[in-house]
Amino acid sequence: MAKPRRRRSRWASTRAWAATASLSTRIRDKVTEANTAVITIRALRDQVNERLQKIPARRKAEIQKLADGVLTTLAAVEGEVYQVRNRSSQDPLNYPIMLNNKIAALAGVVESADHKPTAQSYEVFTELATALDAQLAKMRQSLATELPRLNTAFKRERLAPVEPAPLKTPR
């Protein structure tokens, strides 16, 4: 005769749910940070390219060099956070997933279990969050050091400075 299953206490289930909800919330916040960074980078790139088109040819080389300094760093960060080479529905099979997708996939693992998140889930989250934070630090550093020089050059040309704010999404 089979042993009857031992029922878990309500307290154990509540603690497991709370642990899952807590980690899921942290994961969601990191995915949001990653996606916001990508949106910010793309908005900045569009602003810089729009302003560069208004620069006279005699001054363009100097300002282009400053713009390249900002855009190269931001493109590298974007490439680590988001798979920029996906163009068709088959491309996810051809190119590796990047940080935002890895973190989002972890949410599915954590939320699909009936028990509290495993130690491995916490380890993976910590590893991915650390990698994302390093990329975001590179982005912030570039925005703090290189972008002011570019904005100074734009102001000399009587152009509006580039604003590192993500696009607002309607709620």
What pLDDT, in 10s, does the model give residues 35-75?
999 999 999 999 999 999 999 988 899 999 999 999 999 99
Nearest to 169 by CA among 26, 33, 39, 34: 39
pLDDT at 170: 45
CA 56, 58, 63, 64 torsion: positive or negative? positive
Q: What is the pLDDT of residues 8-30, one digit of tens each?
A: 555 458 888 899 999 999 999 99
Give the start-to-end residue ranges of the domains of the chain. 17-156
Q: Which residues contact 14 (CB under 8 A, 6 or more apart)?
A: none
pLDDT in tens, 107-155: 999 998 888 999 999 999 999 999 999 999 999 999 999 999 999 999 9
Would you state the pLDDT for residue 13? 81
